[in-house]
Amino acid sequence: LLIKSIASWSPLAIAGARSGIAALVIFFYLYARDRRLPRLRWSALQIGTALCYAGVVILFTIANKMTTAANAILLQYTAPVYVALFSYWVLRERITVADWVTVGVVLGGMLLFFLDDLAPGNLAGNIFSVLSGVFFAFFTLLLRKQKDGSPAEAVMLGNIITALVGLAFYFQAFPTAFEWGALVFLGLFQLGLSYIFYTIAIKNVTALEAILIPVIEPILNPVWVFLLLGEAPGPWALVGGVLVLGAVTALSIYKARTATPIR
């Protein structure tokens, strides 16, 4: 919603500005946590994670401007499939039958959830959405691979890279006061604080759980719309939402009861 509301700037300028704000948020978090300036290792793993992160936020912003919001979020959240396919190869984390069933139910629920809003959209925008999902999957896998280190530095570096990519597009126009407020909100909450929590969580869950649980994010959107505007979601959206929430919750409970501690 906020990305689409910023009409003055190009997608790369929006992606760069919100990431610049997010980089500052994560910088101050790391400084407060470690009581020293953040130190980048410049390892291949850290750089690869940062580049994947930059790919996620840049491609999704472009896709959000070029296709429908429903198409953009649904196609991005094909990411659990890629994580399930590559988890063992990258992390040696085995994917169980329960995991695959959950992935299938979640994807089906997402499709039902957005059924009324899906449209052919712009082909290029849809392709960017799919690519964003691929980068999201590998970002999660590589971030999980740094569980014994400090993955927040990789996210900070990814935001710095994104901010630099947008540098050439900042001066093509000047945002309004409302648009600046939207950019600050996006940088502070959507990318800054949320990814701080994500880097903490990634130490204690598998890569697949780390990609499945955030699927709750788009499912909660109509809840806020209903509470603020009184607009009730349609019956298919309700069914899809129940499927997604039920599948993710059931998998979490099942693993909490049966799985050995995550290492």
pLDDT tens digits, residue range 234-257?
A: 777 778 888 888 888 888 888 777
178-191: average pLDDT: 95
Q: In whole angstroms, what is the distance from residue 25 CA to residue 43 CA? A: 23
Give percent of the chain above pLDDT 90: 50
For residue 125, the model assigns a pLDDT of 84
Answer for the pair 9, 179: CB distance below 8 angstroms, yes or no: yes
- Pick the closest to residue 11 from 168, 232, 194, 219 (CA basis): 168
DSSP state of 189: I
For residue 115, the model assigns a pLDDT of 75
Q: In whole angstroms, what is the distance from residue 104 CA to residue 164 CA? A: 38
For residue 75, the model assigns a pLDDT of 82
154-167: average pLDDT: 96
DSSP SS3 for 121? coil
What pTM, to 2 d.p., does this model score?
0.86
Report whether pLDDT(112) > 90.
no
